[in-house]
Amino acid sequence: MENGKMNQLITSIRKTYGSFLTSNDNPNGLDRETCIINFHYSDQSPNNTVTTEQTRTTVSTHQSCTSPNSPANSAISIKDKWNFPLSLFLIVFLAGFAAYVYSLVLPEGRSDVSEGLSLSASRELRDVGLDAYLWKKTAKSSEDIGNGWTKHTFDPQNRPTNLRGGENGDRRMAGPICISGTPYSVFSRRGSDPSRLLIFFQGGGACWSNFYHCTVDIDGQEPSFWSSQGGVWDDNNPSNPFRTYNIVYMPYCDGSCWVGDKDVKDFAFPARDKTGGWRYHRGLQNQSAGLNVAKTLFPDVGKITLAGSSAGGIGVSTFAPFLVRFLFGNTIELTVFNDAGPIMFNPSQEDVYLLTQYEWGYKKFIVPSCQRISYFGQFFTWAGIGNEDDAPHNCHTIDLIRWRLDNDSTVRDAFYETDGDTTNRFFLGLLTKQPNDEAIFRELLVNEIGTAVSAHVDRYRRFIVSGDQSHTILQTNHFYEQRVNGVLLTEWTEHFLSFSPLWKDIVGTQ
């Protein structure tokens, strides 16, 4: 190698690394007097010309300096000189750099792998793109609406596109948005305890082709309406476990139980005139946008409770806990309260399951290592219909919950439901007036969900009311009255939040 080219290469390296490698004996950093550089080049190029692609620079210790005659790597060795302070600093620097790179693949705030979401689970979730919308959307406006509440509205980014090649094309929305194409907003309120945050996911049915039973916009979902209903919104009730919490409240309007990430052309959709025939299933975008608001407003909280009613219960039980880990890290205490979200799978509704999986577009976010549980063999035996092979071999909601509990060592879940819930029976196809509909619903409720309890009895527990057909409870004053086996629901919730030994799995008997 010509001396001029070697000097140019050394100068380039000094500019990049030299300031990091200074020491008392070597104040100018990396230089030609220090034996830490090997230049490797190929003898295959014409005239042994050294190119960028043919040159590899390595930082090595004294022992790795090689002789100019070494046949192994055709190395040019610079003067051998041992610099202990420099070498020590180099080791520390490289160790710190390795730690930095390691931290990049972990959720923010992650300090070790002994708590919270595991490294392998985090990688798998990022590989399927679950974090695609985090930090991508911010509210275009924030408005004080009174009583301590602020409304944060997102830009739907309405713009014309020519998706099908037609002369007029179609008008599509690109940002967080309701299924009907109307703008999406979330709400926030500061509480008296800065260390605690309640993130609440609203419910409101579901929509798929030829089945339109979902809330299509956020009208009527403002905090002022729900505050009048009581429940967790009554911060003047001393029995309210969340009365001192900061709150981020997310209305529901995506029609896909918060898991959707797909737009569907549907000219039978009742709101087709507003959308140009589209259904916007933007559940993942909407919740990611709302969680971005939560992180921006309350970055230093120590405890987060994800709570949701009905479809919101599905939302907080599925993707939301992972997104919270990505944003807030593993050091926060994370709890999940599912208020009557129908997380059971009815094997007789396989066609509906496959249709929503396709139309809502969430299958791509189900990690490969999530496997279906073996419960359905018991179910088919109990029901006397078919066999386990009739059930699709997929990762269902309860399977994803178990996978999360397997891979997040500190999250814990509470589940509330009644065993006659007519709303959830309707969505699960168990309100057909068949004599065993209610029995099947209870069987799924007790035994399918019971698999999560059996696998993680310390961190997944239920409060199931028998002989009651009501749906959801957190947003009503019945929250302060409901009892099972003498245990008051508000007290059970307090025990859940504090991880008290008094927090038990409670299933009312028939």
Cα gap 59→39, rounded to integer Å: 10
Cα gap 274→266, rounded to integer Å: 12
Q: Cα torsion at 312, 316, 319, 324 (round to 10°)? A: 130
Query: Which amino acid is present at 227?
Result: S
Query: Which amino acid is present at 391?
Result: A
225: left (phi over 0), alpha (psi -120 to 50) or beta: alpha
Question: Minimum mean pLDDT among 122-131, 252-261, 447-456: which range?
Answer: 447-456
pLDDT in the model for residue 8:
56
pLDDT in the model for residue 85:
67
Going by the DSSP 8-state scheme, the letter that residue 167 receives in this structure is S
Question: Minimum mean pLDDT among 38-52, 112-126, 481-495: which range?
Answer: 38-52
The top-scoring range by mean pLDDT among 26-30, 244-248, 386-390, 392-396 is 244-248
Q: Are 422 and 428 in contact (CB under 8 A)?
A: no
Cα gap 473→477, rounded to integer Å: 8
pLDDT in the model for residue 358:
94
Q: Does residue 457 have a pLDDT over 80?
A: yes
CB atoms within 10 A of CB 184: 29
pLDDT in the model for residue 158:
52
Q: Are 247 and 188 in contact (CB under 8 A)?
A: yes
Going by the DSSP 8-state scheme, the letter that residue 445 receives in this structure is I
Q: Tokens 């999360």 correspond to what residue?
A: 404
Q: Are 214 and 176 in contact (CB under 8 A)?
A: no
pLDDT in the model for residue 271:
86
Token code pair at residue 247:
């709150």
pLDDT in the model for residue 269:
94
Going by the DSSP 8-state scheme, the letter that residue 474 receives in this structure is T
Question: Minimum mean pLDDT among 141-150, 168-177, 190-199: which range?
Answer: 168-177
Q: Are 178 and 217 in contact (CB under 8 A)?
A: yes
Taking residues 460-474, what's their average pLDDT? 97
411: left (phi over 0), alpha (psi -120 to 50) or beta: beta
Q: Does residue 35 have a pLDDT over 50?
A: no
Which CATH superfamily is 114-160+174-377+390-507 part of?
Alpha/Beta hydrolase fold, catalytic domain (3.40.50.1820)
CA-based nearest residue to 172, from 285, 276, 281, 269: 276
CA distances from 414 to 257, 423, 446 (A): 18, 20, 14
Q: Does residue 174 have a pLDDT over 80?
A: no
The string of DSSP letters for 196-231 reads EEEEEE---EEEETTEEEE--SSTT-SHHHHHTT-G
- If pLDDT is split at 50, 70 and 90, which confidence band does 156 have? confident
- If pLDDT is split at 50, 70 and 90, which confidence band does 139 have? confident
Token code pair at residue 433:
């007036």
Query: Which amino acid is present at 37?
Result: I
CA-based nearest residue to 391, from 408, 379, 404: 379
pLDDT in the model for residue 60:
38
Token code pair at residue 463:
């409060």
CA atoms within 13 A on the CB side of 49: 5
The kind and range of the H/E element at 150 are: strand 149-153
pLDDT in the model for residue 97:
64
- The domain spans of the chain are 114-160+174-377+390-507
Taking residues 379-385, what's their average pLDDT? 45
Q: Tokens 């971005």 correspond to what residue?
A: 292
CA distances from 98 to 85, 93, 116, 372, 456 (A): 20, 9, 22, 37, 35
Cα gap 196→301, rounded to integer Å: 6
Cα gap 304→336, rounded to integer Å: 9
Strands 246-250 and 262-265: unpaired
Q: Are 143 and 153 in contact (CB under 8 A)?
A: yes
Secondary structure (3-state) at 94 = helix
Q: Are 266 and 272 in contact (CB under 8 A)?
A: yes
CB atoms within 10 A of CB 499: 13
Q: Does residue 186 have a pLDDT over 70?
A: yes
pLDDT in the model for residue 71:
42
The chain-wide mean pLDDT, for the chain, equals: 80
CA-based nearest residue to 190, from 254, 263, 268, 248: 248
- Bridge partners of residue 186, in order along the sequence: 152
Secondary structure (3-state) at 493 = helix
For 310-340, write each residue's pLDDT tens digit: 999 999 999 999 999 999 999 999 999 999 9
- If pLDDT is split at 50, 70 and 90, which confidence band does 23 have? very low
CA-based nearest residue to 249, from 414, 478, 475: 475
